[in-house]
Each structure stands twice: as structure tokens, then as C-alpha cells.
Structure 1
Amino acid sequence: MTAPVLAVDQGTSGTKALVVCPERGVIGAGTSEVRPRHLSGGLVEVDPAELYESVVAAGRAALAAAGEPVAAVGLANQGETVLAWDPGTGRPLTDALVWQDRRAETVCADLAPRADELRQLTGLPLDPYFAAPKMTWIRRHLTRDGVVTTSDAWLVHRLTGAYVTDAATAGRTQLLDLDRVDWSPAALDAFGLTGEHLPEIVDAAGPVGTTSAFGPELPLTGLLVDQQAALLAQRVTEPGTAKCTYGTGAFLLAQTGDRPRRGPSGLVSCVAWRLAGRTSYCLDGQVYTAASAVRWLTDLGVISGAADLDPVGSAVPDSGGVTFVPALAGLAAPWWRGDLRGSLTGLGLDTTAGHLVRALCEGVAAQVAALADAAAADLGTPLTALRVDGGLTRSALLMQTQADLLQRPVEVSALPDVTALGVAALARMGLDPDVTVDDAVPAWRPVTVYEPRITATEAAERLAGFRRAVDTLIRSGGGAS
């Protein structure tokens, strides 16, 4: 099968679409912005219509740019963003609660006595980041009507009329039995969701239905949550390797093979993908604010955008004693303190924009280094390298800082946004069962490799300084962002 496919990545701040040809690579691209609303109290929501319209607009733009027909469509999704909607009409009944939204903390507090049980069953810690607490909050406070699901089920229904979710996205709900890869009656009972009509769980590759939303009638044959799609595209298939995507947040995933690893280090154990009925698993760690922290500095007028990170940060040799814990939406793995706020310490009259940029890069990189250490502990083997993608990998300052603090090579993807390439591979595999992962996923070739430039001793000192700032934040129970 050599015909191009349309790959759509519906993300937090926008939708990217690529037309991908197996022989010629990317031959068309389109984007459409999405603007979530960040409200007081840690609320983050978006109009579902904006999500759907961005999918259609980006997909149509990519097809127009390619100027040739495609054989199928693949769709990647945000994972933990949820809404209630009418399955008869497809009409949204609520706004979509974005994965960063914290309003379901009350649900998690109520369920604290069952946290260990739920983690063992689903692989996930009890946290408002995941879908089930948000689903329960919607049922308690907004509506009992319709169905309440992750955003992918609604988008797929709007596109094709099918009512499905892939196994990896189902695994982001905290309603999936991780070992059986099926909805868990015990988890549904815990969250008060028994009796909910949940989507059918399907493989990541296979025919789901057809859509004419992009113009011609096309089969939808690939579905996967965004970070796992990036994991696939980066060929992270062996223990000892991991990938990190630097987008709105930063997400580190490491492959664990055909069985889940439930380690003590604070990482999430989850489904990587299910193909032809066979499940692969991964460890997953999250940094809630990466590009969103850059946007925060931009909104304050410190920089004019992500393109300023390198020129502004390079104007000074170091952070000038400034430490930034960019927990602007809380701390995720391995701490799981979503209630915390960010902190900036060590400020002085001599502090410049460059020092703040350097401190931000160190804060993000230090959190990713903590995730890498946790993954190595759970896997029982150190990571040999880190493969990275996402818009912030364009910053040489951030990537060099990451290599320095990690004390491992950081291999940058030739394309910053690989999620769509992963779901393009799945669309090909879903269209033709004879196409294997090795056939569909291009060989890994980094465009740049950053090697550590500081000693292990200096890296340890800098990481210890960041950990002290985190410990202070945890002891104080908050901070000033």
C-alpha cells in the first residue's frame, strides 16, 4: 500500500494535520489553533465545537497542500480531556474539561481511601489529571444526560458515527483494568459511574468507519492517544530507551513490553497500544507545564515567544542563582502534588530576562531528568539515551540543558511533531493488515544529538538545588506563581 494517508493530531493548543506518503514523506501540512480558557482555581476548558472545527480545518488544509488523494485517515487525541454529549445527535452537553483542569480534586479527595486499590487495578494514581475524576465531576455538577467520555470518542462519533475509543486512550481514564484491557466494574463503581454507556475499546489500527468531513469519503483506520503515537513514531520499543515530547506539557514514556510494570517510583503504568489484539505497555511521566510555561513568560512580557528562548537565554552564562519550579498547573510525576503552585526564588535587582529564561529551561529539564531517573529505577536499567520531539525541541538552549542535567545524549527528531507520523503509520496498518510496524514506521534518524557538556558532579549539584526548591514548595504547601 503506497497511497498517502491523512494524519490528524488534535492537541491542547491546536490541531496539526499531515499528508504522509510512505515513499516521499510529508507532502502536505495544515494547522488550526485552539484556545483553551484558563480560569481561576485551576480550571481549563474549551468549546468542543472548536476542537472539531480545528480537526476539519487542519485536515482540509493538509489535503489542499498535498493536492492528491489519500487512502485513509488516522486521528491522535489529547488523552484525558472529557465532555458529556448526546449520542443521538452528537451535540455537546458541556464544555470539554482539558487534561490540565483541576476542578475534580474534590472527587479525588473523596476517593482517597481507595487510591491504592485503583492504582493497582488501573496503573494510575488518583489525580484530577486523568479522565474518570472529571467524568464524575461532570455527573455530579453539570449533567446526568447523554454519555460522558474522552474527547476522542466524541470526535470519532462526529466524523464516522462510530462509538469507540482505542485501548491506550481508555487506559487514560482510570476506568480500565490494566491487565485485562477492558472496562473495570470495580473502578466504575468507585467513581460512581456504574451503568454509564462507555465506548467500545478497539485496537489502534483497524477500520472504524468512514468520514466525508475532509471532502472525499475516507476510512478512519488509525486511533491513538497522542503521547503513545509519538512513542511509536520514535521506535521506542526496547527497555533502556525513552522518548519525551515537549509540547504544552512534557511527557516521557518508556516501553516495557507485553506486560505492565507497576513500580514504586511515581510513574504511571499504562497501555502503549493494542495491535491485532496484542497489548504493549509503557511507563509514563508528565510535566504539566512546558510550552505553557513559556507562554506564561510571554504573557508577562518577559519574552515575545518561544523563539526568544535561545537569544534571550544565551545573553547570560547561567541562571544567576534563580531557581524556577514551573509548577504552574501543579507538579505531576513523580511527586503527584497537583495542588501546588510554581515558585521563583533567588531573584535580585540584577536578575534579567535571560536569567528567568535559563531558570525556566532548567526547571523543565530538571523535572524530565527526575522522570528519567524514575523510569530507570522501575525498569531496573539506566536509560541509554532520550529521543525527543515537540515544538520546544527547536530550542538549543533547552535541549543542551536537558542533556547536561540528564547526563545522557538527547536525540532530536528530524520532525518536531512526530505524533501525526505515529498515527499515520497506524492508519496504513489499519488499511492493510499485511503492513507491520517495521514497514510503517520510518527508521529512527535524529537531526541533532546533544551530548552533556558539564560534569556529572555539576549536574548533580544543579539537580539538588532544584530538588531543594521543590521540597520547600511541598513543605509550604504552595508557592507564588
Structure 2
Amino acid sequence: MCVLAIDQGTSATKALVVDPADGVLAACEVPLDPGPVHLPGGGVEQDPGALLASVLDAGRRALDEAGRPRLAAVALANQGETVLAWDRRSGEPLTPAIVWQDRRAEPLCAELAEAREWVARRTGLVLDPYFSAPKMAWLRRHLTTEGVVTTTDSWLLHRLTAGAAYVTDAATASRSLLLDLDAVAWDAELAGLFGLAEEETPRIVACDEVVGTTDAFGAQVPVAGLVVDQQAALLAQGCHAPGTAKCTYGTGAFLLANTGGRALRSAQGLTASVAWRAGGATPYCVDGQVYTAASAVGWLTQLGLVGSAAELDAIASEDGEVMFVPGLAGLAAPWWRPEATAAFTGMTLATRREHLVGAVLRGIAAQVAELAELVGAEVGAPLTRLRVDGGLTRSRALMQAQADLLQAPVDVYASPHATALGAAALARLALEPGLGLAAAVGERPDGARYEPRWPAERAAGHRARWRAAVNATLEHSS
């Protein structure tokens, strides 16, 4: 049963041809061309045409590489909170895609500040431009009132199914600020709060539901296995039991922990979402975000401090005197300070590029360690290990820093395709409902394991100095 699993991301689209017996038959990654555009005032936009073209190109290339096997289904994982307006009749986009990193809805969130606690209770999320609804409302105020406004998955699925599907999955919907988290249903009061009461919302579907068919990649095949990217990776990592956690190091770094059938309301500044809806069950997860991980490495590349991510380990210094606060696009959990900026501290005339590069990696790892500590408090037990995936896990320096600062083992997922493999498992479950979730996912491919080398005292001291740097940066930003 071959599945074409597509992972449509912020800077590129991956496509895998997956067979349960033979594993990954082919993989193709197509960078977005043009890529995300960063604008003054915190704007981040994408060309919707580039999103669709990358999906089609990556999928067709992967199938060609695999020898055009007979497909059973096409699965799609998506960015989560990126939105656009589009015409339902023609399928044509009416606006750029407003990326999850976009901060231009901050004034709108400030207007609604009195509703912050009510919104958190209803949705499990924080009232912040990171999530979909503020960006949708900003788009309606500033770009167009025409068409429908949705997350990118709904538009891509509409195009792939020749207009037949107008849907979004339960996990993606739970990242919108428009969903009653406990009921897993659109909430009219929330829509009214954001001025979106008249919008035509897509139908919420299960992640293992067949939503239509597509001939975009050859013969007509079912479309199933719809899920937001981070939850797809949580599934693929085998985090099916409450208290198990993973972190994905992509454009940003995202730490998620399964909380079972209980939708938490975090007291720690974390957010809660649907993990997936599949097999008749709806587990939840709690998560924290680092907005800039690979994008911070990209920034180092632009500055000429490294030639590429492949050079990180050769350059990064283990000297921990210089601190870096990774606020290049604001700070998310647990601070939720979109106006925060990045900062280096502890520099002297002896500071060299290797110290700055090492500080950036440790800054990312320190924020993930903070999130892991908060997640442990929420689930009622410290995390005893962290499962990790994503492109930056290839950096030994980053992974060792993560183990040192977390003071727990870090287990790398051997495949670089966790998100797509999670979507593929859900598509397989849609076609064989009796298979069961664990069987659909299969065995987790184990990669490298990093054990802490730093003593606990050194890790605690480093994290204390890093928190002091964060506090100083936030004080300067206020």
C-alpha cells in the first residue's frame, strides 16, 4: 500500500513515497521559489502559487524516483497557522499567504486584551498573532473582504481535489483560536470576537478521514492523512502515551507532549491543542515554541558567520561565556512577547565568530530546556528523555548542548522525514481502520543518542545566566 505523503513547510515541501513493507521508496524536497518574504513591521508572506507548485513538483518527482508505483492514497501535512484568502469558485488566491511568523496582527490582539483569559480557557491557546484568527482578521481589515479566508491546507486540498473538498483537520483547526478545544468544534463567540462571524468555515474532519480524491499525481486516488506538521511528528515519534514528548528543529523549534484525552489549560504559558483525531479517539497535547531555530542559523549564514548549517559543528565553540537570546522574531512560550528582540551578552574583545555561533546553538537549546521543564510541570513528571527530529538534529553541537542543558538523554529520530511519515501513517489508518495507530506508525527508527556531559551544577548555572539575559532583553524591549 504505497502512500504519497507530502509535508508542505515554511521554506520547502517534502514528498515521500512510503510502503509499509519496504519503508521510504523515494524522497524529494523542493524549496519554495520564491521563498518567504520578510517585510517591515514584522510581516512574513509567501506566494500561494509557489506553495502549490512545490507540492505538485515534489510529489511528482518523488513518484518518478520511486518508479511510479501504484498509489493507495495521498496525505498532506501543513504549516498549521499560515492563512490566505481565496475564491472558492475558481480556487484562485486573492492574497499572499500570511505566514505563522507574521507579527502584524499585534495591535489587533492588543485591542482584545481584556478577553485574553476567556480566550485561553475556551481554546487552550494564547491570544497572539502566531495563531490563525488574528492573522485572518488582519487580512480582512487590510487586504480583502472577498472570498474565504482559511489556513493553507484548506486551499491546497481544494486545489488537489478539483474543488470537491473544503475541509481542515481537527489538529489544524485547534491552532486557530476559533475552536472550542473541548468540543472540537468551531465557536461562534470566538469568531465574533475576531470579526469573523460571517466567514464560511471549512468542515472539520478526522486526520484519518478520506476527504476526496485527486488525479494531480496520476490516477485518481483517495486523499487522507491530513494533519498539522508538529502533531504529525509527535505521532511518528511514537509519542502515543501521556507524558511522552518530542521536539522538532525546523524553521522554529517546537516541543510537544501528549496529554491523552485531557485538554490541559496551562498555568505555565504553554498552549494546548488536539494532537490528532484518529481511530475514533482525540488525544490532546501541550506545546511550547521557539520561533527561530533553522531560521536563526540562516541568519548566521546571511551574516557570513557560517557558510551553511553543515559547518555548524566545525565552527561552534563550546565556551559558554557568550549568551544568545533567540528573539529574532519575538519570544513565544512562556513569555509571549512578540516585541522582544534577539541579543548577545557576555561579549569581549576576545569574542570570535565561533563563540557567537556556539551561543546561538546554546540559546536555542536553552529555550527548549526551559520549555521541557514547564512541560514536565504540566504533565506531572519531569521529562526523562526527549525525542527529536528535524534538519537541525544533524548538528552534533546543538544536540549535545540540548542534552547538557536538559540534563536528560536526547534521542534522534533516524529518518529526516518524521512529519511526512506521521501523515502517511494516518492515511494508512484511513484505508485500513482496523490496523490500529501503533501498527500504522510502525517501529520508531532510532538514531543517535546524546547523553549529558555537563554536570548538573554547570547546566543550572548556564541556564540561570541565560534567563538573566532574557530578562534583561525583555526589560529593554518593553
- TM-score calculated relative to the size of structure 2: 0.98
Q: 1:31 aligns with which of 29, 32, 52?
A: 29
Contact 1:289/1:328 (<8 A) preserved:
yes
**What does residue range 32-431 of structure 1 map to in structure 2 within 5 Å?**
32-34=30-32, 35-67=35-67, 68-160=69-161, 161=163, 162-313=165-316, 316-319=317-320, 321-431=321-431
* Amino acid paired to 2:221: L
Distance 1:474 1:442 in 2: 44
Tell me how far 1:189 sits from its aligned partner.
1.1
Contact 2:292/2:327 (<8 A) preserved:
yes
* Amino acid paired to 2:91: G
| Cross-structure match for 2:12 | 14
Tell me how far 1:317 sits from its aligned partner.
3.8
Contact 2:124/2:266 (<8 A) preserved:
no
> 1:31 aligns to what SS in structure 2?
strand
Contact 2:7/2:229 (<8 A) preserved:
yes
> 2:92 aligns to what SS in structure 1?
coil
| Cross-structure match for 1:451 | 451
* Amino acid paired to 2:8: Q
* Amino acid paired to 2:326: P
After superposition, the C-alpha distances for 1:76-96 in whole angstroms (9 at most, x for unaligned) are 000000000001110001000
| Cross-structure match for 1:476 | 476
Tell me how far 1:276 sits from its aligned partner.
3.9
> 1:449 aligns to what SS in structure 2?
strand
Aligned residues: 473
> 1:275 aligns to what SS in structure 2?
coil
Contact 1:391/1:417 (<8 A) preserved:
no
Contact 1:394/1:416 (<8 A) preserved:
no
* Amino acid paired to 1:405: L
Contact 1:83/1:93 (<8 A) preserved:
yes
> 2:434 aligns to what SS in structure 1?
coil
Tell me how far 1:475 sits from its aligned partner.
1.1
- TM-score calculated relative to the size of structure 1: 0.97
Q: Unaligned stretches of 5+ in structure 1?
A: none
* Amino acid paired to 1:471: N
> 2:240 aligns to what SS in structure 1?
coil
Higher mean C-alpha displacement, 451-460 vs 211-220: 211-220
After superposition, the C-alpha distances for 1:425-458 in whole angstroms (9 at most, x for unaligned) are 0111112222211111122242111000011111
Tell me how far 1:403 sits from its aligned partner.
0.2
Q: Unaligned stretches of 5+ in structure 2?
A: none
* Amino acid paired to 1:155: L
Contact 2:278/2:426 (<8 A) preserved:
no
Distance 1:236 1:317 in 2: 31
After superposition, the C-alpha distances for 1:193-221 in whole angstroms (9 at most, x for unaligned) are 11210000000012111111112222101
Contact 2:390/2:418 (<8 A) preserved:
yes
Contact 1:80/1:173 (<8 A) preserved:
yes
Mark the CA change 1:239 to 1:432 in structure 2 (over 3 Å): closer, same or farther: closer
Contact 1:241/1:384 (<8 A) preserved:
no
Percent identity between the aligned chains? 59
Distance 1:236 1:338 in 2: 30
After superposition, the C-alpha distances for 1:352-387 in whole angstroms (9 at most, x for unaligned) are 121111101110000000110110111111111100
Contact 1:249/1:290 (<8 A) preserved:
yes
Higher mean C-alpha displacement, 439-448 vs 265-274: 439-448
> 1:297 aligns to what SS in structure 2?
helix
Distance 1:356 1:158 in 2: 44
> 1:207 aligns to what SS in structure 2?
coil
* Amino acid paired to 1:352: R
* Amino acid paired to 2:181: L
Distance 1:333 1:429 in 2: 33
Contact 2:324/2:360 (<8 A) preserved:
yes
After superposition, the C-alpha distances for 1:220-260 in whole angstroms (9 at most, x for unaligned) are 01100000000000011223321000000000000000120
* Amino acid paired to 1:39: L
Contact 1:130/1:173 (<8 A) preserved:
yes
Distance 1:109 1:421 in 2: 39
Contact 1:240/1:384 (<8 A) preserved:
no
Distance 2:416 2:62 in 1: 17
Distance 2:217 2:306 in 1: 37
Distance 2:326 2:112 in 1: 28
Tell me how far 1:142 sits from its aligned partner.
1.0
> 2:62 aligns to what SS in structure 1?
helix
Two-structure CA RMSD over aligned residues (Å): 1.0
Distance 2:209 2:200 in 1: 22
Distance 1:323 1:349 in 2: 15
Contact 1:272/1:281 (<8 A) preserved:
yes
Distance 1:350 1:307 in 2: 25
Distance 2:445 2:178 in 1: 37
Tell me how far 1:463 sits from its aligned partner.
0.4
Distance 2:44 2:140 in 1: 18
Distance 2:307 2:457 in 1: 34
Distance 1:238 1:452 in 2: 25
Tell me how far 1:107 sits from its aligned partner.
1.0
Tell me how far 1:278 sits from its aligned partner.
2.3
